[in-house]
Amino acid sequence: MTEQEKTTGKHDLKSLAGKYLTFKLSNETYGIEILKVQEIIGLMSITSIPRTPNFVRGVINLRGKVIPVIELRKKFDMETVEDTDHTCIIVVQVMGGNGPITMGVIVDEVSEVVDIAENQIEPSPSFGASIDTAFIMAMGKLGESVVILLDIDKVLTANEIQSLSSL
Amino acid sequence: MPNKDVHEIIEKLSELAVFTGPGDLQELAQMHTCIIEIREWAKEQGFDRTATVADNSADLIEKIVLQEISNTEEALKLISQVISSFQQLILTNTKEDEIVYPDELKKKKTDEIIIPGTGEVIELPENVDPDIFQQFIQSQDSNLEEMEFLLLSYSNSSDKNEIIAELKRKVHTLKGESGILGLSDIQELCHLAEDQIEQGVTQELIDNLFLLKDWLKKKFDALAGKGIMPPFPNDLNRKLKKENEKTEKYTKQSTEFKRFSPKELEGDLDLVKDFVQEATEHLDNCDVHLLTLETDPEESDALNAVFRAFHTIKGVSGFLGLEEIKQISHEAENLLDRARKKELLLVGDAIDVVFEAVDALKECVEAVRKALTTGEPIIPRENSGELIENIHLLLQGKKITTLLKDRVEKKKAKLGEIMLDSEIISEDSINRALTLQKSPKEPVKIGEILVKYNVISSKQLERVLEIQKKEFSNKPIGEIVVELGFATEEEIQNALNKQKETSKPPKLGELLVRTGEADAKEVAQSLRTQRAQSLVPQTTVTEAIKVDANRLDQLVDMIGELVIAESMVAREVELQGDLYTHLSRHVGQLDKITRELQLMAMSLRMIPIKSTFQKMARLVRDLSKKTGKLIEFHTAGEDTELDKTVVDKIGDPLVHMVRNSVDHGIESNPEERIQKGKPPVGNIYLRAFHSGGNIHIQVEDDGAGLNREAIIKKALERGIIRSEEGLSDREVWNLIFEPGFSTAQVVTEVSGRGVGMDVVRKNIEALRGQVDIQSTPGKGTVFTIRLPLTLAIIDGMVVRVGGERYIIPTLSIIISLRPTEKDINTVIGKGEVLSFHGKLINLYRLHRLFDISDAIENYIDGTVVVVEAGNLQVGLLVDEILGQQQIVIKSLGDALKGIPGIAGGAIMPDGKVGIILDIAGIIKLAEKTSAFV
């Protein structure tokens, strides 16, 4: 985390307590605030869009609405795998410049909804400049396992897609 | 005044300036006289600035004498400054422009009557010494406290007169000081309050003075930098004025019109919003009914409808405190009420003034709408006062001079036809009468008219004619008459109007009676029929519910989804074959219902184009008045329905086109038209109709037509074309849409068109439509706009590239072909071109642009789709064409907008998303990245 982000992007850890939808990417568990999640759908056929960044898988028809779908593995520079029966799309609402944007996020597997209490939350670790952790709000401890709490607004901002696509 | 005197005066003045102090009343009085003399001199010399400054200086001295200002030292300094400037001007012959006057005294008096409280946040009023200002503000706190004390003690005081006198002094001082400091709003209110106090103190006034004090407190705090600047207290202003008006109303002449001050919105904003919407509807309705009234001023249904509209608007606006709207509608209502009671006929000025009132109200409502969105005060119209006054005059039975007179006549069924139908006369007689009517009649000479109406004597006329013959053979008689002073211009104008009237062809009915083909009674009967027929047929009003457009769109979306889901189920059932006969029957039923639902959903967004056409009718009426051309406007197909967005957006281009037709299409000289064998009155037709799955809107005029030579000349000049060879008419006409043509003076002067035509094309293309022009020299021009039925649906060609499907809008496709080897050439080994219709066009491989593997590489194995954007054509290589279909366009959303080459998405029949290509974007992209292609 850079110096600037420490001052502006620091989350109040206490306010982060609440319900999270957890999902898996590879062998890591992530969590998204439940209020941001609109629905979970199975993988459907995705139309790819030319000249967009590689993590944009394409667009799907969500009951008449066309929404973009991004692949979290590619976004996080993780190794890509074939889609499985468990692969699914979490439809989230993120804040864009002109209001909320609905988009889909492809994850390996959706796990469950968990309640994370204040005392289970730890600040996100810093790995120096080598790993970008700006979109990690905090870490949640659930017994033995650790949940990475994602700031989904930061994971993919509309600006990011646009600026990349116009390259 | 001789210069010598001025020199003496200025010398005396400079002497005085040195010796005079604030207490030397006699000297001050002398200075005042001198300055006034200088002012008179300056006026004589035409030194306007100097005169104004002198005037202001004299006022300032007056104030010093009357001890109306506190800081007399400063004021005197200012005056000596001015006097030295005068010296410079008078003694050294410096030009007036070079003289520097103190800013404080430059202001023209009229400038001080600024509409108060225009919302500007003043830190410090202009042209004011900051020190004086500061002092003034600081002293006000205690001053206001004293004022409040006086007000409080008024009611239970024994010596009321003393309190009143004290109050008056305070208000008066405040008025004077604020006036000097440029606080015109304070000055105005204090002035009003002062007048009121003079007229006697009532409890109401005391209340108002409390309000005034409260406002002043806020105002001074704001000026001192504490708190927010309060808006001008319109209510208070009104209240204070009301009393004054009672006495002033009758003395005031109509030369000074009431001005409305800007006003904050108050009350429930939702109510205001509703009002804006309602009022707009009412006013739009008014237009139709007024056009009816114009043809038949006594049509009671229309009259009542207009009356009701004004009445409703008046009521609601009054309730909402929208003073300007209320007053205009109130006055108009009064006028209409008189008309309803048959005390007044709505013709001439009367109907014009009602039209004007409708326009004024539209503007007011628009202002309210603006205020609603911006949150700022409502900006009043400039001449509402004048309008109200005009209506007043009419109500008193006086003439209005400020309004224009000519009228546009509505289309009527021809009298001849009616008489034929009712078998009053034979076709032969009609034809005889018509030829008689058409046969050109020598217009009565202007000279004769002048003599006949005793404007000039016949001797004078002879002299004028002689002069005309001798000297100015081309000069109109009228001008010569005016020059010789035999008549005024106005009289000549009247005579000219009379000439026009008399040279009009005689009425058919009159002719028929005169030639004995029909008797007067029969003609009169037919005339009545004609009038009755020309009335707008009563439209039945169907009940409507207003629905939020977003909800409607959602509904339409969902129905679209339903259709797709249904077709998926239906296909599944079909695949099962005969296994489920019952099921397939039920699905068939479902299919029918969903299709109907889809049709209905489409129609939900459709509204008739009527409202837009009405606006055009109005436009032509106004334009023909302005240009003085006689024009009949005809519409057809007003009930044609279009997508609401299209109806809203088609207005602008139509305005341009109609304006062009009036301005440049119709000949300005009726003679010219008669020479070409056309009726003297120009015709403009506006039509809307369905044709070939599109909606067509036509603007036709029977004017001069486009001038091919002029357009080509202009295009050559501008370098838009290189030579005129091989250009078809259509190509030439299309040149007027080029942006360069829009400002072209030359073409418009040679009766070509051009103003704003590029705007027209752009707007229409944005609606996915096209414009076509047909023009015959001397006969007229037809503009045809072709629009898709709805914005949401386009015709698209579905193509396959590798494993991907893309949709190319059919509108941009010229042809698709399978090229042979000899059609394709390479340039510098890289760029490829295709010979197509004798032209060479660039070829691009879509799969390389979009980075798609497993697609056909070779042009010869695949299909080339020749597409066009702007004026550029290119060929795109695709694997194959899958078919053509209607496609519902969907935006890809905020996250994915602006991707080059992609216009949007569409839900394909299989439920997947298809990508719609943006051809212009693809060509741009291809040119940028052509190294890879």
DSSP-assigned letters across all residues of B228-294: PPPPP-HHHHHHHHHHHHHHHTTTS-TTS---PPPB---S-HHHHHHHHHHHHHHHHHHHHHHHHHH
Domain containing residue B314: CATH number: 1.20.120.160
Confidence (pTM): 0.44
What is the pLDDT averaged over residues A7-22? 73
Angle between helices B610-627 and B269-295 (to 10 degrees): 60
Per the prediction, chain B carries an average pLDDT of 75
Q: Are residues B557 and B625 in the same domain?
A: no
Tens-place pLDDT, residues A69-108:
999 898 888 888 888 899 999 999 888 767 788 889 999 9
What is the pLDDT averaged over residues A33-40? 93
Amino acid letter at B185?
A: D
Set B68, B323, B333, B738: catalytic member:
B333
What is the pLDDT averaged over residues B870-892? 82
φ, ψ for residue B608, nearest 5 deg: -65, 150
Domain containing residue A59: CATH number: 2.40.50.180
The span from the CA of B313 to the CA of B319, in Å, is: 10
For residue B907, the chain A residues in CB contact (below 8 A) are 61, 64, 66
Does an H or E element contain A123, and which? strand A121-123
Tracing tokens 């386009």 back to the chain, one arrives at B794
For residue B400, is it within any domain? no
Three-state SS sequence of B345-407 = CCCCHHHHHHHHHHHHHHHHHHHHHHHHHHCCCECCCCCHHHHHHHHHHHHCCCCCCCCCCCC
What residues of chain B, 877 to 896, have a C-beta less than 8 Å from chain A? 890-896
Q: How far is CA B685 from CA B695, B769, B872, in A?
A: 16, 20, 34
Q: How far is B587 from chain A (nearest CA, A)?
A: 21
Residue B689 has pLDDT above 80, yes or no: yes
Per-residue pLDDT band for B751 (boundaries 50, 70, 90) equals: very low
Burial of B235: CB neighbours in 10 Å, binned 0-12, 13-18, 19+: middle
Return the pLDDT at B109: 47
Residue B530 has pLDDT above 50, yes or no: yes
**Closest to B892 (Cβ–Cβ): which among A59, A63, A96?**
A59
Domain containing residue B67: CATH number: 1.20.120
Per-residue pLDDT band for A60 (boundaries 50, 70, 90) equals: very high
Higher pLDDT, residue B765 or B400: B765
The span from the CA of B15 to the CA of B614, in Å, is: 72
Q: Are residues B468 and B325 in the same domain?
A: no
**Closest to B914 (Cβ–Cβ): which among A47, A98, A166?**
A47
Per-residue pLDDT band for B242 (boundaries 50, 70, 90) equals: low
Return the pLDDT at B580: 76
The span from the CA of B174 to the CA of B180, in Å, is: 10
For residue B900, the chain A residues in CB contact (below 8 A) are 51, 166
Q: Are residues B870 and B755 in the same domain?
A: no
Q: Are residues B761 and B687 in the same domain?
A: yes
What is the pLDDT averaged over residues B472-482? 66
Q: Are residues B135 and B237 in the same domain?
A: yes
**Closest to B892 (Cβ–Cβ): which among A66, A97, A98?**
A66
SS3 state of residue B771: strand
Domain housing A79: 3-165
Return the pLDDT at B401: 44
Tens-place pLDDT, residues B664-680:
788 878 888 888 888 88
Set B311, B330, B656, B664: catalytic member:
B311
For residue B105, is it within any domain? yes
For residue B318 the two structure tokens come to 């009054």
The span from the CA of B108 to the CA of B264, in Å, is: 29
Asked if B801 and B878 touch (Cβ cutoff 8 Å), the reply is yes
Return the pLDDT at A90: 95
Least confident of B67-81, B237-251, B344-358, B614-628: B237-251
Per-residue pLDDT band for A147 (boundaries 50, 70, 90) equals: very high
Per-residue pLDDT band for B534 (boundaries 50, 70, 90) equals: low
Q: How many residues does chain A have?
A: 167
The span from the CA of B743 to the CA of B756, in Å, is: 8
For residue B558, the chain A residues in CB contact (below 8 A) are 63-64
Collect contacts of B215-218 with beta carbons under 8 A, ≥24 apart. Answer: B215/B189, B216/B140, B216/B144, B216/B174, B216/B186, B217/B144
Distance of CA B611 to the CA centre of its chain: 16
Count the alpha carbons within 13 Å of A104 in the hemisphere toward its beta carbon: 27
Residue B535 has pLDDT above 60, yes or no: no
Return the pLDDT at B539: 44
What is the pLDDT averaged over residues B229-255? 59
Residue B21 at interface with chain A, using a CB cutoff of 8 Å: no
The span from the CA of B812 to the CA of B809, in Å, is: 6
Return the pLDDT at A92: 93
The span from the CA of B25 to the CA of B14, in Å, is: 17
Higher pLDDT, residue B793 or B833: B833
> In total, how many domains does chain B have?
7
Per-residue pLDDT band for B799 (boundaries 50, 70, 90) equals: very high
Return the pLDDT at B543: 66
Per-residue pLDDT band for A65 (boundaries 50, 70, 90) equals: confident
The residue among B557, B558, B562, B896 with the most chain A CBs within 10 A of its CB, best to mutate, is B896
Return the pLDDT at B490: 72
Per-residue pLDDT band for B351 (boundaries 50, 70, 90) equals: confident
Q: How many residues does chain B have?
A: 933
Q: Are residues B620 and B577 in the same domain?
A: no
For residue B540, is it within any domain? no
Distance of CA A157 to the CA centre of its chain: 11
Per-residue pLDDT band for B739 (boundaries 50, 70, 90) equals: low
The residue among B889, B913, B925, B933 with the most chain A CBs within 10 A of its CB, best to mutate, is B913
Return the pLDDT at B59: 82
Return the pLDDT at A30: 93
| Final residue before a domain boundary, out of B587, B604, B621 | B604
From the list B77, B84, B125, B126, the residue with the least C-alpha distance to B101 is B84
Per-residue pLDDT band for A59 (boundaries 50, 70, 90) equals: very high
The span from the CA of B695 to the CA of B689, in Å, is: 6
Return the pLDDT at B314: 81
From the list B642, B636, B644, the residue with the least C-alpha distance to B616 is B636
Return the pLDDT at B404: 36
**Closest to A101 (Cβ–Cβ): which among B890, B893, B898?**
B893
Is B282 annotated as catalytic? no
Q: Are residues B69 and B213 in the same domain?
A: no
Q: How far is A81 from chain B (nearest CA, A)?
A: 20
Q: Are residues B619 and B741 in the same domain?
A: yes
Say which residues have a Cβ less than 8 Å from residue B695's Cβ, sequence separation at least 6. B640, B642, B646, B688, B689, B786, B787, B788, B789
For residue B232 the two structure tokens come to 């001008």
Of the ranges B185-199, B249-263, B871-885, which is most confident? B871-885
Sheet containing A136-142: order of strands: A109-116, A18-25, A28-33, A145-150, A136-142, A121-123
Per-residue pLDDT band for B800 (boundaries 50, 70, 90) equals: very high
Residue A42 at interface with chain B, using a CB cutoff of 8 Å: no
**Closest to A64 (Cβ–Cβ): which among B849, B894, B907?**
B907
| CB atoms near residue B31 (< 10 Å) | 25
For residue B497 the two structure tokens come to 């109007």
For residue B637 the two structure tokens come to 């197909």
Return the pLDDT at B766: 78
Count the alpha carbons within 13 Å of B479 in the hemisphere toward its beta carbon: 7
Set B660, B734, B763, B842: catalytic member:
B660
Return the pLDDT at A88: 93
Domain housing B455: 415-530
Count the alpha carbons within 13 Å of B752 in the hemisphere toward its beta carbon: 26
CB contact under 8 A, A59 and B901: no
Amino acid letter at B196?
A: Q
Return the pLDDT at B167: 81
Residue A102 at interface with chain B, using a CB cutoff of 8 Å: yes
For residue B895, the chain A residues in CB contact (below 8 A) are 68, 96, 101, 103, 158, 161-162
Least confident of B104-118, B237-251, B893-907: B104-118
Q: Are residues B653 and B564 in the same domain?
A: no
Residue A164 has pLDDT above 50, yes or no: no
> In total, how many domains does chain A have?
1
| CB atoms near residue B531 (< 10 Å) | 14
The span from the CA of A69 to the CA of A78, in Å, is: 17
Q: Are residues B519 and B580 in the same domain?
A: no
Per-residue pLDDT band for B933 (boundaries 50, 70, 90) equals: very low
Residue B537 has pLDDT above 60, yes or no: no
Residue B56 has pLDDT above 90, yes or no: no
For residue B544, is it within any domain? no
Is B423 annotated as catalytic? no
Residue A63 at interface with chain B, using a CB cutoff of 8 Å: yes
Say which residues have a Cβ less than 8 Å from residue A56's Cβ, sequence separation at least 6. A49, A68, A69, A70, A71, A161, A165, B896
Per the prediction, chain A carries an average pLDDT of 82
Is B172 annotated as catalytic? no
Residue A41 at interface with chain B, using a CB cutoff of 8 Å: no
From the list B735, B736, B786, the residue with the least C-alpha distance to B764 is B786
The residue among A44, A62, A65 with the most chain B CBs within 10 A of its CB, best to mutate, is A65
Q: How far is B808 from chain A (nearest CA, A)?
A: 15
Q: A-B interface: how many C-beta pairs under 8 angstroms? A: 90
Q: Are residues B386 and B442 in the same domain?
A: no
Residue B569 has pLDDT above 50, yes or no: yes
Q: What is the DSSP letter of A125?
A: P
Ordered alpha helix ranges (H), B92-129: 109-112
Higher pLDDT, residue B845 or B754: B845
Q: How far is A55 from chain B (nearest CA, A)?
A: 13
For residue B849, the chain A residues in CB contact (below 8 A) are 50
Of the ranges B75-79, B416-420, B438-442, B492-496, which is most confident? B75-79
Say which residues have a Cβ less than 8 Å from residue B509's Cβ, sequence separation at least 6. B415, B523, B526, B527
For residue B121, is it within any domain? no
Asked if B833 and B864 touch (Cβ cutoff 8 Å), the reply is no
Return the pLDDT at B438: 60
Return the pLDDT at A162: 55
CB contact under 8 A, A66 and B891: yes
CB contact under 8 A, B915 and A49: yes
Chain A residue closest in CA terms to B558: A64
Per-residue pLDDT band for B407 (boundaries 50, 70, 90) equals: very low
Q: Are residues B720 and B866 in the same domain?
A: no
Residue B718 has pLDDT above 80, yes or no: no
Residue A163 at interface with chain B, using a CB cutoff of 8 Å: no
What is the pLDDT averaged over residues B871-880? 87
